Amino acid sequence: MTMSDLSRRSVIAGGIAAAAAGAAAGSARAASSSSPAVLAGENGWVTSTMARMTLEEKVGQLFIQNVYGKDATTPDSRNLPLYGVASPAEVVQKYHLGGIIYFAWTDSVQNPDQIVGLSNGLQKAALTQQSKVRIPLQVATDQEQGVVTRIGPPATQFPGSMALGAGRSAPDARTAAAITGRELLAMGVNTNFAPDCDVNVNPLNPVIGTRSFSSRPELAAQLAAAQVAGYQRDGGVASSAKHFPGHGDTATDSHVAFPVITHTREQWEAIDAPPFRAAIKEQIDMIMTAHLSFPALDDSGNPATLSKPILTGVLRGELGYEGVIVTDSLAMQGVRDLYGDAEVAVRALMAGVDQLLMTPAMDEAYAAVIEAARSGRIAPDELDAKVRRVLGLKYRRGIVARPYADPAAVASVVGTPAHLASATAVTDRTTTLVKNDAKALPIAPNGKKVLVTGYGVSTTATLAAGLTSKGATVQTMQTGTSPTDAQVAAAVAAAADKDVVVVTTMKAWDTSVTDKRGGQQKLVKQLLSTGRTVVVVAVRDPYDIAYFTDAPTYVATYSYSPVAIEAAARVIVGDVAPTASLPVDIPVAGAPETVLYPFGHGLTY
């Protein structure tokens, strides 16, 4: 399902002017804020380094890969089938890698001390290999915050992009990025694949959703620019706008299939382009491609990641972007349907990409790119331009001058009381009270019997703790993303003697993937039938209310991060008056052209 024509027109009306105003500013990259001396140093280092590089070393700089293991030198058998060597350090040295990306499932992000140790160990591997050049790594992760958070507590948590959109504050968005960037850098992570610049105009979008700031391009652009400044200027890390040319209007997940965006060129200019233009104006270091077809920009059927018309024609030529273009993960199905993994790597580079992220066939892809360079399929000057952009980013971002993080300084930066206080203050300004028809909120919890049920072990526990601290007697009954009939019945029975029921929902609208049995919707409806005071808290997408419109009390947090749930508890008991408003339209269930609650709606006490 794509966005309705009516909804498109409403967005275009507000977006055409912004797109026109931004066109001139975004048509060429803003003048560098670097001094002539800094630029001369960058050019000198890049030129002298490239003069000593072999072809294999140049090609290696174009790859960012995931590696398994909590430290750099301990062998991990999971690396063997991917790379033929066992330790992360050996992977770096075998391919002269340009970068490494961290995930929880690779055991890369267990705690701050472990992360800084791994980061420094990987940098040592890059800087001590047998070579004429010593080039440090980009050490990257996806710390978007909210639903895409790779490094958890004690690192400071924020509720994510759509929550910031609800708060409407560019300074808050910049603060969140600045703190996130500073903490990443303290752990040796110098590159963050954020912010998400997609404009989520499709409420059924399964892959973007609350990762987007808003369904309005002008708000998304304003907050994206603020976050680029926060990450790069304040936080000192490289940032990456994603997913170009725009992933906001699809009901298909590009991790498992191949989405097609049906926007016209006019709609792309008005809806999808403004956040990317704003990021380019802020001198974004990197832009990440999307694995989707966008026929209005390229009707070949190729994904944008492999599209020269989109990457070289539109992004480079029309938008004037001069920084690094990086692919989304090449292990995603959306880019693997048409060509083999080795050919995908070559075609992406030929299309205009500079760096290849997470190829699932490293030996084959590495060899294919080297052969393409030797044969002239990738011209020598094109290869050198890509390497120059990658090395220039490393120099400008301070990675060359300061490749190592200080282990002794981690505790004084990561999760400090000041950072946590800032996160609390920002998050308190993002909780949205959508519906309070029965005037049930705020509740006076002291002496009340409360049932907290619904999605999430930690989510329900965090909410229960907040209510307990205010004097409520709380029973917790977690029912997950797809409650069974037995779980629903147990929750209804538990509600019988309670004064208040708080039920958390998480993508209750999604009965295709998240909740195939529709258990969350059943849970809410049957709890409402008990006659108890029921407070529904949507802890991810705000769209759930459309599927149980009889609920008289509804709060949206846009995230199940503990910081967001703690803020919701403060709103429920009245310690904090809600001030945020919806950053998207909530449409009627099954009728996306009809708005149930409009952008900008929000209540307070």
Which residues have a catalytic role annotated? 255, 328
Residues with Cβ within 8 Å of 214's Cβ and at least 6 positions away in sequence, in order, are: 162, 165, 199, 200, 220, 223, 583, 584, 599
| DSSP string computed for 504-560 | EESSTT-TTTT-TT-HHHHHHHHHHTTTSEEEEEESS-GGGGGG-TT-SEEEE-S--
The helix/strand count (H/E) of the chain reads as 20, 18
Look-up: residue for tokens 């294919």?
A: 368
What is the spatial distance between Cα 42 and Cα 48, in angstroms, rounded to a whole number? Answer: 10
Buried b (16+ CB within 10 A) or exposed e, 513-541: ebbeeebbbbbbbbbbebebbbbbbbbbb
> Within 13 Å and on the Cβ side, how many CA atoms surround 257?
9
Identify residue 549 by its one-letter amino acid code: T
SS3 of 117, please?
helix
What is the spatial distance between Cα 387 and Cα 332, in angstroms, rounded to a whole number? Answer: 25
In SS3 terms, 366-416 reads as HHHHHHHHHHCCCCHHHHHHHHHHHHHHHHHCCCCCCCCCCHHHHHHCCCC
What is the spatial distance between Cα 140 and Cα 40, in angstroms, rounded to a whole number? Answer: 27
Radius of gyration of the chain (CA): 24
What is the spatial distance between Cα 306 and Cα 311, in angstroms, rounded to a whole number? Answer: 8
| DSSP string computed for 443-460 | ---TT-EEEEEES-HHHH
What is the spatial distance between Cα 145 and Cα 195, in angstroms, rounded to a whole number? Answer: 9
Identify residue 74 by its one-letter amino acid code: T
CA diameter of the chain: 78
Q: What would the two tokens of residue 540 be?
A: 């991810």
SS3 of 566, please?
helix
Q: Is 415 exposed, middle or buried (0-12, 13-18, 19+ CB in 10 A)?
A: middle
Q: Phi, psi at residue 450, to the nearest 5°?
A: -125, 135
SS3 of 133, please?
coil
